[in-house]
A = this chain, B = another copy of it.
């Protein structure tokens, strides 16, 4: 009966992965790191994502205090997402991720394979 209460992380990174671990979350944050964006802008930036997933992942990021949501009460609704301070603290990681991805694409690295579809970082 000494089971750990619940979410005891074996390594701090797990906590980060809990937050960033959605299929699209990291990607969304990357886009938001360039500046606030409307829902539709995000959708266009990520052609593969569905409306449902977008909203869902955004909600979770919001609940985790990573992003902030602003609703403009006007007739064609307008909703803007932007990073919170906590979110900003992730910028370093996100930037590096992009940089690294660039290098990887440029084939600096030999094998460019792919397998696990799964999700998101």
Q: Which residues of A pack against B, CB within 8 Å?
A: 7, 9-23, 25-27, 30-31, 45-47, 56-57, 60, 63-65, 86, 89-90, 92-94, 96-105, 109-116, 118-121
Q: Quick one: closest B residue to A30, CB to CB? A: B13
| Residues of chain B with a CB closer than 8 A to A46's CB | 10
Q: Decide if A63 touches B113 in the complex (CB within 8 Å).
A: yes
Contacts of A92 in B (CB 8 A): 96
Interface of A, helix, strand, loop or mixed by DSSP: helix
Query: Given contacts A60-B115, A111-B65, A116-B57, are A101 and B21 in contact (CB under 8 A)?
Result: no
In angstroms, Cα B15 to Cα A109, docked, is: 12
CA distance A112 to B18 in the complex (A): 10
- In order of increasing CB-CB distance, the 9 nearest A-B pairs are A121-B121, A12-B101, A16-B101, A15-B101, A12-B102, A22-B116, A119-B119, A13-B98, A13-B30
